[in-house]
Amino acid sequence: MEYIEHMEYMQYIEYLPYLLIPLGLFLLYNGIKYTLRFAKSKMLFEMPYVNKEGNFQLDESGTYGIWLSGKMFTKAPIGEFGFAIVNEQTGKRISIMPSIMRTRVNGFTNSRIELYTFSANAGSYTLSLTNDPSLLDTVSGALGKVVSKKAVDYTQFSIQIYKNKPTILLFLCTWLIMLGFFSFVGGIILAVLTGTKI
């Protein structure tokens, strides 16, 4: 009886690679696909950092992110500036909030990080840099100065605006990729150990 149960158990184990490998590929594909969609979001506005002020247009109401973009492995001016956004029609200043769970998107040579978010209606706006950084930026900037004494090359950076996407989406995509990878690799290892042909 125990021998029969053992054989049935081994049969189940032998079938597992047929489940784990395609499941892993499915999760990997979707995780990578949605991560790329997240990274390739349409940029709505870009201003060289050295310009200090620029105008942009929003075609729809929503929540948007203010990003700092620059060359990778280059000291960033985080902690040296804040932002002010003014509605050109009403003259009212738009409230902006520091991004606590800061999203970072890396390319081959450039990287960008979301510093602030704001909600606004469709319309024309003026974005300007101020001398009033958030507490989070001030702390990050102080740490950056400890790590690197190099001067900041401001010409390497720009300010960008994108439609804000919840950080939880990127978090879920990351987990999809991790689960897909371990499922695929686990299926391959199990196939080798059990001698299952795949």
Q: How many C-beta neighbours within 10 Å does residue 153 have?
A: 14
Query: Under a CB-based contact definition with an 8 Å cutoff, are residues 194 and 34 in contact?
Result: no
* Residue 196, CA atoms < 13 Å, CB-side half-sphere: 20
**What pLDDT does residue 4 have?**
46
Return averaged pLDDT per consecutive 10 residues of the chain, 198 residues in all: 49 70 82 70 91 95 94 88 95 92 78 93 96 87 78 93 76 79 83 72
**What pLDDT does residue 38 have?**
65
**What pLDDT does residue 3 have?**
45
